[in-house]
Amino acid sequence: MWPKLEKVVAVDFRMSTTALHADIVLPAAMQYERPNLQYAVTFTFHLGFSEAAVEPRGEAKTEWEIFRLLAEKVQEKAAEEDVVEYLDGRRQPRRLDGLVDAFTSSGSFEAEEDVIDEWVRDSVECGTLPVGTSLESLRRDGSVRFSGLGIFAPGLSVAGEVSPDKVLTAYTWHVEQGVPFPTLTRRAQFYIDHPWFMEADEALPRHKEPPKAGGDHPFVLTSGHSRWTVHSIAMGNKVLLETHRGQPLVILNETEATGRNIADGEQVRVWNDHGSFQAMARLTRRVRPGQLIVYNGFEPHQFPDWEGGNEVEPGMVKWLHLVSRYGHLRYLPFGWQPVPADRAVFVDVSKVSKMES
Structure letter (DSSP) for residue 198: H
Query: Angle at CA 305, nearest 5°, toward 302 and 308?
Result: 55
Query: What integer pLDDT is reported at residue 164 of this predicted model?
Result: 87
Query: What integer pLDDT is reported at residue 340 of this predicted model?
Result: 57
Domains and CATH numbers, the chain: 2-148 (3.40.50.740), 219-351 (2.40.40.20)
Query: What integer pLDDT is reported at residue 341 of this predicted model?
Result: 56
How distant is the alpha carbon of residue 175 from its chain centre? 32
- Helix H segments across the chain? 17-21, 63-80, 99-104, 112-126, 135-141, 153-156, 172-175, 195-199, 238-241, 254-259
Strand partners, 267: 280
Rounded to the nearest 5°, which phi and psi values hold at 20? -65, -25
Strand partners, 353: none
Query: What integer pLDDT is reported at residue 296 of this predicted model?
Result: 85
List the pLDDT tens digit at each of the 357 positions of the chain. 888 999 999 999 999 999 999 999 999 999 899 999 988 888 888 999 999 999 999 999 999 999 999 999 999 999 999 999 999 999 999 999 999 999 999 999 988 899 999 999 999 999 999 999 999 999 999 999 999 999 887 788 899 999 988 898 999 999 999 999 989 999 999 999 999 999 999 999 999 998 899 999 999 999 888 776 767 888 888 888 887 788 999 999 999 999 999 999 999 999 999 999 999 999 999 999 999 999 888 889 999 999 999 899 988 888 888 888 898 887 666 655 565 556 789 999 999 987 666
Cα separation, 181 vs 277, whole angstroms:
46
Rounded to the nearest 5°, which phi and psi values hold at 340? -80, 150
Query: Angle at CA 293, nearest 5°, toward 292 and 297?
Result: 145
Say which amino acid occupies 273.
Answer: D
Cα separation, 211 vs 345, whole angstroms:
9
Cα separation, 179 vs 158, whole angstroms:
13
Query: What integer pLDDT is reported at residue 335 of this predicted model?
Result: 59
Q: 197-205: list long-range contacts, CB under 8 Å, 24+ apart.
A: 197/320, 197/323, 200/319, 200/320, 202/320
Cα separation, 100 vs 247, whole angstroms:
44
**How many Cβ atoms sit within 10 Å of the Cβ of residue 294?**
25
Query: What integer pLDDT is reported at residue 332 of this predicted model?
Result: 64
Query: What integer pLDDT is reported at residue 137 of this predicted model?
Result: 95
Query: What integer pLDDT is reported at residue 31 of this predicted model?
Result: 87
Question: Please, which residues have CB within 8 angstroms of residue 77's CB and are 6 or more apart in sequence?
Answer: none
Query: What integer pLDDT is reported at residue 339 of this predicted model?
Result: 59
* Residue whose C-alpha is closest to residue 75's, from 94, 104, 98, 93: 98
Query: What integer pLDDT is reported at residue 235 of this predicted model?
Result: 82
Query: Angle at CA 176, nearest 5°, toward 173 and 179?
Result: 45
Query: What integer pLDDT is reported at residue 330 of this predicted model?
Result: 78
Query: What integer pLDDT is reported at residue 329 of this predicted model?
Result: 87
Query: What integer pLDDT is reported at residue 8 of this predicted model?
Result: 96
Query: How far is the CA of 344 from the CAs of 111, 215, 259, in angstroms?
Result: 46, 11, 22
CB of 35 within 8 A of CB of 112? yes
